[in-house]
Chains A and B, each alone.
Chain A
Amino acid sequence: MAQAHSLNVNGRRVTLEADDPQMPLLYALRNQLGLTGPHFGCGLAQCGACTVQVAGKAVRSCVFPISAAAGKTVVTLEGLGTTGKPHPLQQAFIDEQAVQCGYCINGMIMQAKALLDSNKSPTDLQIKQALAGNLCRCGVHLRIVRAVQRAAKTMA
């Protein structure tokens, strides 16, 4: 018995069907909407690879039930900008070459977006603390901090 959930994703109104109201938002985004920017990393809200914004807040979509997103506004990495017209954060990650494998980068950018929404000129330490719950295994941390600083300056 599939239930329909209406929400706004990246500025578009969508209706998503789910047999299980507890299905994490991540699966609807990736498999029903083809938004594969958010990644599955742990399913435990431990790594941050799946981070999206729901109602303006960074959430871990791997544990966020689809039913809880109903009626809300969701923004994914794809909703920030495109390769042709990147968001200042995306452009800063390009400028700093702040990627290795790139699997975690969705979460880094989405979590940094939440930080910059509330703090327009963070210190390096504040950036590190804001991203402390996001894991990167390749070791791109220093570049990511520089990219967030660069974006903050661009957006100021």
Chain B
Amino acid sequence: MLNPTLNRREFLAAGGSLVVSFALAPGVLAQQPAAVKTVSASEVDGFLAIGADGTVTVYSGKVELGTGVRTALLQIAAEELDVPLERMKMVEGDTLLTPDQGATTSSVSISRGGVEIRRAAATARAALVNEAAKVLGVPAEQLTTQNGAVVSRSDGRSVPYSRLVGGRNFSLKVDAKARVKDPTTYRLVGKPVPRVDIPEKVAGTFVFMHDYRVPGMLHARVIRPPTMRGRLTGLDDTAARKIPGYVGTVRKNDFLAVVAREEWAAIRAARAVRAEWAKWEGLPEKSKLWEAVRATPAVRDDVTQNTGNAVAALKTASRTLRATFDFAIQTHGSIGPSCAIAEWRDGNLTCWTASQQTHELRKQLADMFGLKHDNVRCIYLEGSGCYGRNGHEDATADAALIAKEIGQPVRVQWSREDEHVWDPKGPPTLIDYAAGLDERGNVVAWTSDAWIPIGQAVSRATLVAAELAGMPRDASHPGSIQQQLAIQYAFPNVRAVAHRLADTPFRPSWIRTPGRMQNTFGNEVFLDEIAQVSGADPLEFRMRHLKDARAIELLERLARLAAWQPRGKESRRQAGNVVTGRGVSYMKYELVRTYVGAVAEVEVNRKTGVIRVTRFHVAHDCGQIINPDGLRNQIEGNVIQTTSRALMEDLQFSRSTVTSRDWASYPILRFPDVPEVVMDLIDRPAEAPWGAGEPTSAVVPSAISNAVFDAVGVRLRSVPFTPDKVLAALGAPKKDAA
């Protein structure tokens, strides 16, 4: 496992140049000024270094979250540089060493992060060829690159990159127009290259954030309040003092933690400390959540689509359809609770963190402690998959605060309950739809009105430690949840408005496919309703209203993949308690990138209300595919994780706090219930590469709902589709009075 802490001696021995090697020397460079290596995203040296031994190090602001981007980004760089993958290394998300390429979110690690690295590599390659032309005395046009060297086409002489630049800077601006390789010559991009991290992960030797250690490190556990707005009124650690290895408590206003020499002692101490907290019951009643959302004042309206005059067209339509959709509050549900290490030295803070946004976190931590940004370094280490902004950043702030108070490096490991209760949540989403049809059944108006929380402009969530300790902090950003509150279908009058609410019950953040999932759920189920009342086949209806050739090709291929049987107004009549259905859904991500179409197959038990999703057919077009196996892995993961969210996941809470505190009270999908996934990947090597970490998730809940309609003839408009809701929709008496 690479340890992304540079060995300073080796760094400086090379004259402050870019010979980078790795050694187990945690903290050695932690406090060095950032002047050694540029992190500028406009400099080739920001992204790339070629060592004297020919090793190429890629410095990436985008980080591996388990989606395979480390391998994909290395493929892109190795391809463009013509260097074997075995000679490539990667440093990710270290604020001292890597450019700020924005948070690793929104499925843009390839489309933005990868393209930036590709441009830097193409610039570097051109510079290497020019340098080799001088060394070999051959015009650059007669030179080519292969295997980490520039080669003369005429006489076969070659010069390795290491001789041309090895150990020195390129000192070159990234050329946005640098000539990139012709995709027809690719030998790595587009190939199912095995992931570089998997051998160590299956051998148990991979160093996750949770496995990392620094010398002199103490172990801490946070003690969170029993309410979401806890005020600490009393504290007694008498019992904890009897535990061998107990160091003490750290208290700052309502922030409370225990510190011990050993991890188990910290856990025992956290249980032994008696803390008293003020009562607070400010959460809405769970059963009246949607009334509470609707009653929350809107700060402003964001018009996300406006074509023609939908409001007027709706009034004159001969037939009007209306429906309301809601989507529950959900948690990220990382399998490993968040963990971080922090160390202070001479007023400088170094954090080892699994944050997907180390550059942003660094600014947040600097603000929290009143430091300059340069006095904080965040070093990324892979954590448990986060699927958005989970608790990683909060655990980092916890560690920083505790380490500062205690004066020693501190590792904070959250408990399962800490993660379930205190990670920020995907906010509740409520959307009202209306459509107007003319007398021939044509759609003349479409409106959607979403009731979703407002957030701050930058993608940050409040750090819990800063809030509890009363330190400077940001408001929370729920993610770009207004995205996809718009449709690609060519209706003459369309209006979509996001009513941005002043408040939401829990600290919001982005959770995989934020907004795009909820909005696509409403869009695609409501569209299905319109197709059905129009007597049209739902797939044909979609294709008829799309003008985009790639969209139409995708849906044609989906129809073939799923062997789609067109259907009309009448729903099929099936005997027996368990009936089957198929439903289709489609979207173009944010209406500007990746296309996904899906057909879900379900079994619905009319007696129990239980839905089983048996199979998903997915057609996927993300342009140029970097790694087809990585893409398949992502699509499978999107389908399975979102099937879980669509069928089961509904955060439970009292008036005081979250009551979904573990996997028993917040169940997720298990092996026996995962659907099969069949795929058709549309590769377009000549097109721009787009992302695949999120788009498939967007179509999953709607495809399931539409399949349930096909099976039993009722519309499910509330996620998750629990048995109780299914039975209620079927008109069956509820199992219990609750």
Write the residues of chain A forming the contact surface with B, with a CB cutoff of 8 angstroms: 1-2, 18-20, 23-24, 27, 30-31, 35-44, 46-47, 49, 76-78, 81-83, 86, 90, 93-94, 97, 99-106, 109, 125, 127-129, 131-145
Contact = CB atoms under 8 A, between A and B. Distances in A.
A27 B245 CA distance: 15
B670 A135 contact: yes
10 contacts: A35-B204, A40-B336, A97-B630, A100-B633, A103-B335, A106-B204, A132-B672, A137-B333, A138-B385, A139-B636
Contacts of B65: 101
B664 interface: yes
B177 to A, nearest CB: 36
A104 B415 contact: no
A18 B265 CA distance: 10
Given A78-B204, A86-B203, A142-B640, A102 B198 contact: yes
B208 interface: yes
B22 interface: no
A94 B630 CA distance: 13
Contacts of A83: 199-200, 203, 205
B663 interface: yes
Contacts of B387: 137
A46 B336 contact: no
B663 A142 contact: no
A129 B633 contact: no
Nearest to B193: A97
A141 B208 contact: no
Contacts of B291: none
B641 A137 contact: yes
Nearest to B211: A36
Contacts of B537: none
A102 B663 contact: no
Contact of A139 (B68, B211, B637): B637
Contacts of B671: 127-129, 131-132, 134, 141, 144-145
A101 B384 contact: yes
Interface in B627-673: 629-630, 633, 636-641, 644, 662-664, 668, 670-672
B66 interface: yes
Given A46-B664, A102-B66, A138 B262 contact: no
Interface bracket on B: 35 or more
B204 A137 contact: no
A142 B676 contact: yes
Given A19-B245, A42-B662, A139 B203 contact: no
Given A82-B203, A140-B637, A46 B385 contact: no
Interface of B: 65-68, 194-195, 197-208, 210-211, 243-245, 262-265, 267-268, 333-337, 382-385, 387, 413, 415-416, 629-630, 633, 636-641, 644, 662-664, 668, 670-672, 674, 676-677
B335 A36 contact: no
Given A94-B194, A139-B640, A41 B205 contact: no
A128 B670 CA distance: 8
Given A40-B336, A138-B66, A139-B641, A97 B202 contact: no
A82 B630 CA distance: 24
A36 B207 contact: yes
Given A97-B198, A139-B637, 17 more contacts: A19-B245, A31-B263, A39-B208, A39-B335, A41-B335, A41-B336, A43-B416, A81-B203, A86-B199, A94-B194, A102-B66, A103-B385, A125-B672, A135-B670, A137-B335, A140-B636, A142-B677
The CB with the most chain A CB atoms within 10 A, among B202, B268, B337, B640, is that of B202
A82 B202 CA distance: 9
Contacts of B633: 97, 100, 140, 143
A141 B198 contact: no
The CB with the most chain A CB atoms within 10 A, among B333, B384, B387, is that of B384
A100 B385 contact: yes
Contact of B202 (A43, A47, A99): A99
A84 B532 CA distance: 58
Contact of B663 (A31, A46, A128, A131): A46
Contacts of A35: 204
Contacts of A40: 210, 336-337, 413
A142 B615 CA distance: 12
B663 to A, nearest CB: 4
> 3 closest A-B pairs (Cβ-Cβ)?
A37-B204, A101-B66, A139-B640
Contacts of B194: 94, 97
B66 A30 contact: no
A79 B467 CA distance: 44
B264 A49 contact: no
The CB with the most chain A CB atoms within 10 A, among B199, B244, B333, is that of B199
A124 to B, nearest CB: 10
Nearest to B195: A97
A83 B668 CA distance: 32
Nearest to A62: B416
A37 B637 CA distance: 23
B668 A36 contact: no
Given A101-B384, A103-B336, A76 B204 contact: yes
A99 B201 contact: yes
B199 A24 contact: no
B662 A44 contact: yes
A128 B671 CA distance: 5
Contacts of B200: 83
A19 B266 CA distance: 12
B228 to A, nearest CB: 22
A36 B204 contact: yes
A42 B674 CA distance: 22
